[in-house]
Amino acid sequence: MAVISGDGVFSHATLGATDLDASVKFYDATLAPLGIKNMGPFGDTIVLYGKDKPALLVMTPGNGGAPSSNGVTLGFAAATPAEVDAFHAAGLAAGGTDEGAAGPRGHLPGAYAGYLRDPAGNKVCAYTFTE
């Protein structure tokens, strides 16, 4: 069985935003139930998110084009199914669209996740495992 750990191999992840204000509203609401907070702007086109240090950059694409993450999903670790539920509900209320309601997933024992598309079309999810 695969194990998802908080000790990842990435220094950070970046998601493009066609409307930075709409994306900030979405991520402020959606990530709060997971204990991830808006750590403020980095210049005029980047907003940093994290728990203790910046780990997610939401930004206007540097090439001026639309973000393209077709086939990419960014998964956020949740501690409980209730956090996944809150992530999904907050994301929908903040302008996201449903890509898979929060609930059990049959591909791994105890898997529980909820999937969304952010205002720019990026696919994100929150994931946890139950006993």
Which tens digits make up the pLDDT trace of 115-124? 999 999 899 9
State the total domains in the chain.
1
CB under 8 Å to 81, separation ≥6 — which residues? 102, 112, 128, 130
Domain enclosing residue 48, as ranges:
13-61+72-129
**6 in a structural domain:** no
**67 in a structural domain:** no
What pLDDT score does 3 carry? Answer: 41
CATH of the domain at 82: 3.10.180.10
Look at residues 110, 116, 114, 113 and name the one whose alpha carbon lies nearest to residue 129.
110
**Average pLDDT across the chain, whole number:** 88
**18 in a structural domain:** yes
What pLDDT score does 5 carry? Answer: 45
Q: Are 115 and 100 in contact (CB under 8 A)?
A: yes
pTM above 0.85, yes or no: no
Q: Return the ∠ at Cα 82 (arms to 79 and 85), rounded to 5°.
A: 115
